[in-house]
Amino acid sequence: MKVSIERLEEAEVILKRLSSIETTVVTGLNEASNTTTESIGGNCTQIHAGEHIGFTWNLFRSSDQKVQVNRTFLPKGAFIDFHNHEAIEKLVVWEGAMKITLQDTRKEILVGAGEDISLPKGEFHAARVVENCWFVVISIPAVNMDNLDIC
């Protein structure tokens, strides 16, 4: 399933609208992959990774830090290196596709539109976006996503 032109245009409109808001770097430079993330207003964070730019929106984070829900767009070709979280993760793709690689087994799992994957706490995994991808991640408990290597 291809990402609709409307969805890409929506991302561009959001970026243009939010680019007028003063940006603040919320994490330092990740020297390994030369990436940064910037808060660009509201609950939106722009992800800079070489030629790849994505966006993530924090949709919900409980006040007790027990649950977090993020909506994310990453373009085709973006790669998130092996990492883990001290949380259970449920990733649901609603448009596009990505391959999740589990570090222990090197098993690759294609997750496409309408599909999901659950990752247990501490599971090392990587992701490669094979089609422009919109997805939601539910984390229990809430996690810090600032230290991902996204190339």
Q: Going residue by residue through the chain (151 aa), what tens digit of pLDDT does each one get?
A: 344 555 556 656 555 554 443 333 333 333 433 344 444 445 677 666 556 777 888 888 888 888 888 888 888 988 888 888 889 999 999 999 999 999 999 999 999 999 999 999 999 999 999 999 999 999 998 876 555 555 4
Q: What is the pLDDT of residue 98?
A: 96
Q: Which two tokens stand for residue 16?
A: 């243009």
Q: What is the pLDDT of residue 45?
A: 73
Q: What is the pLDDT of residue 133?
A: 93
Place domain 5-140 in its CATH homologous superfamily. Answer: Jelly Rolls (2.60.120.10)
Q: What is the pLDDT of residue 31?
A: 40
Q: What is the pLDDT of residue 49?
A: 55
- Looking at the DSSP bridge assignments, the partners of residue 139 are 68, 89
Q: For 130-144, what is each residue's pLDDT tens digit?
A: 999 999 999 998 876
Q: What is the pLDDT of residue 132?
A: 92
Residue 120: closest CA among 103, 132, 136: 103
Residue 127: closest CA among 146, 101, 105: 101
- Rounded to two decimals, the pTM is 0.68
Q: Provide the residue ranges of all domains of the chain, joining segments of one domain with +.
A: 5-140
Q: For 30-51, what is each residue's pLDDT tens digit?
A: 343 334 444 444 567 766 655 6
3-class SS string, the chain: CCCCHHHHHHHHHHHHHHHCCCCEECCCCECCCCEEEEECCCCEEEEEECCEEEEEEEEEECCCCCCEEEEEEECCCCEEEEECCCCEEEEEEEEEEEEEEECCCCCEEEEECCEEEEECCCCCEEEEEEEEEEEEEEEECCCCCCCCCEC
Alpha-carbon torsion (32, 45, 89, 67), positive or negative: positive
Q: What is the pLDDT of residue 79?
A: 86
